[in-house]
Amino acid sequence: MIKFLHIRNLATIEDIELSFAEGFSILTGETGAGKSIIIDSIRLLLGDKGPADLIRTGKTEAAVEAIFSFGRESAPAGLESLVQDGEITLSRQITDQGAGKAYAGGVLVPVKKLKEWSPLLVDIYGQNDHVFLLHLESHLNYVDHFGETTALREEVAGLAQALRKLIKDKKDLEARQQDAVQRLDFLEYQIKEIEEAGLKPGEEEELHQERHVLKHAEKVAGLVASALDLTYNQEDSLTALAGRLDHALTELGTFDPAFQALGQRLGEVSITLGEIADALMRYQEKQTSPERLEAVEERLSLIEKLKRKYGRDLKDICYYYDRIRAERDDLANSRERLESLTREIGTTLAAYTSQASELSRRRVQAGRALQSQIEKEIGLLGMTKARFSVQVTTAAPSSPDLDKVRDTGLDDVEFLISPNPGEQLKPLRKIASGGELSRVMLALKAVGKEKESLKTLVFDEVDAGIGGKTAEFIAQKLKELGRRHQILCITHLPQIASFAAHHYRIEKRVEKNRTYTSVVRLDFEARVEEIARLISGSRITSASREHSREMLTHNLSESS
């Protein structure tokens, strides 16, 4: 429950602090007094958008803080770590620059966390909330919530999504198979062309280098011969001179050992000269004929042709080759893949049908229990002769069809009602009046809340468009709900206000051209005056006061 609420600089509220009690509390006030600001502040605290125009004129920031108390009850799942001594404090700040902060237990948290915690703490119903009854999807969602089938529904949705993907994959593969033969021939041609080329890493660079040499073969041959003469062939070549120098150093070493080290170093030079001479001789023996140049040119021309068709370089060609081989293998194996997909679709469809059928069974079961409880609830709300039914229409499982495989399963759910004796059950969304929709909505909320641990239910003028005896029935239902939950209700009807255990009046005053909203908790006599105002308007009469007193005395003393 909301134990304490502090609002600062929000619209016409400058600074107010409110303490709320358990049970059924009413908020009343003249039109424009600021009743909706209280609800807006709770919505803001629980993660709703906080536009800058909510901030009080002349201020740069606004803030809302609330203490939620759980009493002897356990904290809602997901909030246990934030609760201290059975309470949790949440706060929200917004600024005129669009920035804002949120805190839980004094610790900074993302605003989206407040939104996530909101359904664990407070449920707010506005005067148009019964509109959800006009949408069939809401009927299905409510039955699943009531029947506690959420986990099974998620499993069915997962199977439906998997089934749709398998069906799409099969259709795509079947479409590709129509031109698979032609595509296979084309891929085989490309693969054969690349394979026959026998490309090697680095080959193109080596061929360019060889072509450069071959184009200057005569000059290169002369330079090689000259280098070989200097190194080995001539009598005064470097190799011959090194040999004579080695002989001299060897002889000197017999006189001075220091020359032995020089001889060793010269030996290393001789080895190097020998290696150079061998390399030059091998190079001299290489083929440098015009035929070889022509072969190199042809090879480079082939590589260029493949590059134009399959990639910028040999690496790209190899990547393309791997890709088309994989595609060829995929096409070649498409028949096996089709058979595999058909088997997978059959298995997944069977699982989907099984789980969806179980979901249908549980929905029918939940629908029966729900319609019994709703008939009882709307009877207590004055619709004593009305009948209510939950119609669950289940489609027969059929062959896989993207239009039939739904995340929600095989069922359509619709609420039917017969408001008057002798009338057939008809779709609630088509025939119910605004007052009937409001009562069915409240009955659904009352039944649903028995399955939840929420402490605070906020009703924002859900009595709009009703009055008389219907208003009294709704008031009795709110009072009953107040025995299990904290109820905060904004109303303009004296019938509803007179049933509440606690009454707050929203007041507006103007001082020095500034508007201020305040909230006052009323004692019994002040409630008599306020309810008299609701009865007769601004001109309160002795008769309206007497009527107000009688209503309060009677309704507060009632046990139900």
pLDDT in tens, the chain (560 residues): 999 999 999 999 999 999 999 999 999 998 877 788 898 999 999 988 888 888 999 999 999 999 999 866 666 667 777 888 888 999 999 998 888 899 998 889 999 999 888 888 888 887 666 777 888 998 999 999 999 998 999 999 999 999 999 999 988 888 877 777 788 888 999 999 999 998 888 888 888 887 777 766 667 777 777 787 788 777 778 887 888 887 888 888 888 888 888 888 888 888 888 888 888 787 776 756 677 778 888 888 898 899 999 988 888 999 999 999 998 888 878 778 888 999 999 999 999 999 999 999 999 999 999 999 999 999 988 888 999 999 999 987 665 566 678 999 999 999 999 998 988 999 998 988 777 888 888 888 888 755 555 578 898 877 766 777 888 888 888 898 888 889 999 999 999 999 999 999 999 999 988 999 999 999 999 999 999 999 998 889 999 999 999 999 998 886 54
* Distances from the Cα of 54 to the Cα of 3, 8, 31, 216, angstroms: 24, 11, 18, 86
Radius of gyration of the chain (CA): 45
Give the integer Cα–Cα distance in Å for 368 and 406: 23
CA nearest to 531, candidates 550, 508, 557, 518? 550
Q: What is the pLDDT of residues 430-463, one digit of tens each?
A: 988 777 888 888 888 888 755 555 578 898 877 7
Question: What 3-state DSSP class applies to 297?
Answer: helix
Max CA-CA distance within the chain? 147
Strand partners, 107: 104
SS3 at position 545: helix
CA distance 486 to 490: 13
Q: How far apart are CA 504 and CA 517, in angstroms?
A: 13
User: What predicted TM-score, i.e. pTM, was given to this entire model?
Assistant: 0.63
Q: How many whole angstroms separate alpha carbon 26 and alpha carbon 487?
A: 8
Length in residues, the chain: 560
Give 62-121 as a DSSP string. Answer: EEEEEEEE-TTSPPPTT-GGG-BTTEEEEEEEEETTS-EEEEETTEEE-HHHHHHHHHHH
Angle, CA 482 vertex, CA 534 and CA 448 arms, to 5° = 115
| Residue 51, Cβ density class (10 Å: 0-12 exposed, 13-18 middle, ≥19 buried) | exposed
Amino acid at 275: E
Compute the distance between CA of residue 282 and CA of residue 288 in angstroms, rounded to an integer.
12
Eight-class DSSP state of 232? I
* Ramachandran angles phi, psi of 391, nearest 5°: -95, 115
In the chain the domains, ranked by start, together with CATH numbers, are 1-127+453-518 (3.40.50.300), 182-332 (no CATH), 522-560 (no CATH)
527 vs 534: CA distance, rounded Å:
10
pLDDT of residue 376: 92
Residue-level pLDDT at 398: 63
Which candidate, 215, 247, 234, places its Cα nearest to that of 277?
A: 234
Sequence letter at residue 175: A
Closest listed residue to residue 133, CA positions, set 380, 425, 436: 436
Sort 554 into a burial class: Cβ within 10 Å, 0-12 / 13-18 / 19+. Answer: exposed
The pair of structure tokens assigned to 124 is 């707010």
pLDDT confidence of residue 217: 65
| Residues in contact with 19: Cβ distance below 8 Å, sequence separation at least 6, in sequence order | 3, 4, 521
Of 518, 560, 544, give the one whose Cα is nearest residue 38.
518
- Cβ atoms within 10 Å, residue 480: 16
**Residue whose token pair is 């536009």:** 51
Amino acid at 431: I
Please tell me the predicted confidence (pLDDT) of residue 560.
47
